[in-house]
Amino acid sequence: MSNLLVTDIGCLVTNERSIDGTPLGIIHDAAFSVTDGKISWVGSRSEVKVSEHKNVVSAKGKTVIPGFVDSHNHLVFAGDRAAEFSARMQGQPYAAGGINYTVEQTRSASDEELRANVAALVAEGLTSGTTTVEIKSGYGLSVADELRSLEIAREFTEETTFLGAHVVPTEFKSAPEDYVAMVCGPMLEAVAPLAKWIDVFCDRGAFTPAQTRQILKAGIAKGLLPRLHANQLEPGEGIKVGVELGAASVDHISHFDDSDIAALANSKTVATFLPGAEFSTRSEYPDARPMFAAGINVAIASDCNPGTSYTTNLPLMIALAVREMFFTPEQALWSATKGGALALRRKDVGHLSVGAKADFSILSSTSYLHLAYRPGVNLIEQVWRNGNQIS
Ligand SMILES: [Zn+2]
């Protein structure tokens, strides 16, 4: 007997292509059952015997989607940068340097303050349908503060990322190579047991492609898996470095050309777009269509951070991806669920087929199209994780 039956689903998005031949794998008038936190059966409502289930939830004809998998976030920090945002909206350009302000604030914050901030942001994401979240360090930038950031991140997710190479901290400005040596040496040594991933901000004002290779290789040697921030501020080698080192994902990718597309198309690396960063820095949005045309797996994530995308809201990212980056609504929804799961190399989330975690949202609308069509409106009526309602 299953623990839960969800029925009367007007439109169920499974992300199981074999169901209807489309990436979203849609079943109309659907139902599914959950046993021990996992999907144990998926099918048509007409096949269901309600009396065989202990707990029955009616979706009342609405849409059910997989929980969002938000694969790129910087949640361990203190303070905010509202003034910087305001200045930017009045014409000041974005440079990577503002990160050092958050580093100062983070270093002087207590563990309790940092933990409470992460908890609030994770809870905020949950209410908008995010059931799996990746969290990076990167505002500590000392051995002790990076370690503390990852310890706190670990309390909230198994998807923890060491981003000691976010920027060169102020005290190493005149000796960046010394900082790179510290990241690859004692810092990596300290944090390796707490991090699944290693990440580098490979861009103007942050780290060079050569430094990026050095840092990612050091992490790989310690058993961490690579991913990176690439080609946000200008064209460069970041995407190709990521592909070369087998990164699970290259993120931002605001600038890319045909050679970058060719590199990605011949790899398993996911192309992750972060439309909140373009929004918040008033930068030109990239056009994602060539990525889809080349058959590359695409993700979208919120990039929640206090400098350049202070939001946890994936429905807003879906709306921006559709409106500004030329995703279809279907591509955007898939990218925020299955695409995010691929970017984290996860098979158990981002879809609703038998064996997957029962992480899903019930929308207040009868169509997933409303996620893009009704921007800024909260359409996430219920959020369930592991078969338990949490919002
Ligand atoms: Zn980022």
For residue 312, the domain's CATH number is 3.20.20.140
Confidence (pLDDT) at 217: 98
Is the domain of 259 the same as that of 211? yes
Cα(260)–Cα(369) distance, rounded to whole angstroms? 31
Q: Is 269 left (phi over 0), alpha (psi -120 to 50) or beta?
A: beta
Is the domain of 309 the same as that of 193? yes
Confidence (pLDDT) at 97: 63
Angle at 261 between CA 314 and CA 14, to 5 degrees: 40
Distance 200 CA to ligand 1 centre (A): 9
Is the domain of 31 the same as that of 112? no
Is the domain of 227 the same as that of 360? no
Do 252 and 277 form a contact (C-beta atoms < 8 A)? yes
Distance 253 CA to ligand 1 centre (A): 11
Is the domain of 93 the same as that of 164? yes
Distance 116 CA to ligand 1 centre (A): 21
Average pLDDT of the segment spanning 337-356: 98
Cα(161)–Cα(225) distance, rounded to whole angstroms? 9
Distance 301 CA to ligand 1 centre (A): 10
Q: Which domain holds residue 58?
A: 4-67+351-389
> Could you give the percent of the chain with pLDDT greater than 90?
93
Is the domain of 46 the same as that of 87? no
Q: How many domains does the chain have?
A: 2
Confidence (pLDDT) at 277: 97
Distance 191 CA to ligand 1 centre (A): 19
Is the domain of 265 the same as that of 280? yes
Confidence (pLDDT) at 231: 93
Do 169 and 187 form a contact (C-beta atoms < 8 A)? no
Distance 260 CA to ligand 1 centre (A): 20
Confidence (pLDDT) at 91: 87
Is the domain of 145 the same as that of 283? yes
pLDDT digits 0-9 by tens, 59-105: 999 999 999 999 999 999 999 999 999 989 998 877 656 889 999 99
Is the domain of 213 the same as that of 359? no
Confidence (pLDDT) at 49: 84
Q: What is the DSSP string of 282-302?
A: T-PPP--HHHHHTT--EEE--
pLDDT digits 0-9 by tens, 261-274: 999 999 999 999 99
Distance 162 CA to ligand 1 centre (A): 12
- Across the chain, mean pLDDT equals 96
Distance 229 CA to ligand 1 centre (A): 6
Is the domain of 260 the same as that of 217? yes
- 13, 67, 266, 276 from 369: Cα distances, Å: 12, 16, 31, 20
Confidence (pLDDT) at 331: 98
3-class DSSP state of 212? helix
Confidence (pLDDT) at 57: 97
**pTM: predicted TM-score of the whole model, two decimal places:** 0.97
- pLDDT beyond 70 at 208: yes
Distance 232 CA to ligand 1 centre (A): 10
Helix H or strand E segment including 59: none
- Domain boundary at 320, 343, 366, which? 343
Distance 221 CA to ligand 1 centre (A): 23
Is the domain of 236 the same as that of 379? no
Average pLDDT of the segment spanning 14-35: 97
CATH of the domain at 359: 2.30.40.10
Confidence (pLDDT) at 50: 80
pLDDT digits 0-9 by tens, 119-174: 999 999 999 999 999 999 999 999 999 999 999 999 999 999 999 999 999 999 99
Distance 250 CA to ligand 1 centre (A): 11
Confidence (pLDDT) at 53: 85
Is the domain of 61 the same as that of 74? no
